[in-house]
């Protein structure tokens, strides 16, 4: 399954945040997203579980960066992470129980919009804080869907 994290590259140079660990994790996240979006019914629950595990580690790493750099919006950023993790857990439970329709709809309709907004607003601000920029870069994320 390690190849799932390396097959796709979505972030163009002007979409990168300038913090290698964050950019690399976002690439992995988008690769998992694409595999999950295209998964058949047999593979979907396992890939969804992998997405949940990756996202949990992704958020933990970001939160460690926020704490280590005294990021002023830590509480708001972490609250958004917690909300998304709750949704992931809820849909994973359904997918593992054979009820994939709502999980697939959330992956296809809600997750791309959340990721785009989170990257543009919260992660961009965190990256700017980490690299000492005066204000966040404007980042354009290409649509995740065809």
CATH at 50? 1.20.120.50
**68 half-sphere exposure, CB direction, 13 A CA radius:** 9
pLDDT at 135 over 80: no
What's the mean pLDDT in 61-65? 91
Domains: count for the chain: 1
In-domain check, residue 136: no
pTM: 0.80
The domain of 105 spans 2-131
How far lies 140's CA from each of 18, 106, 134, in Å?
14, 22, 19
In-domain check, residue 20: yes
The fraction of the chain above a pLDDT of 70, given in percent, is: 80
d(CA 129, CA 142): 24
In-domain check, residue 31: yes
């Amino acid at each position: 399954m390690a190849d799932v994290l390396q097959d796709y590259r979505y972030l163009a140079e002007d979409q990168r945040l300038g913090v290698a660990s964050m950019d690399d994790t976002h690439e992995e996240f988008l690769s998992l997203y694409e595999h999950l979006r295209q998964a058949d019914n047999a593979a979907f629950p396992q890939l969804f579980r992998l997405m949940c595990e990756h996202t949990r580690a992704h958020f933990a790493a970001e939160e460690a960066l926020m704490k280590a750099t005294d990021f002023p919006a830590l509480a708001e950023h972490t609250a958004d992470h917690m909300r998304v993790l709750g949704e992931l857990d809820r849909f994973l439970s359904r997918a593992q129980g054979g009820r994939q329709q709502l999980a697939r709809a959330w992956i296809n309709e809600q997750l791309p919009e959340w990721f785009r907004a989170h990257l543009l607003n919260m992660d961009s601000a965190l990256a700017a804080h980490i690299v000492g920029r005066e204000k966040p870069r404007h980042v354009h994320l290409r649509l995740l869907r065809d």
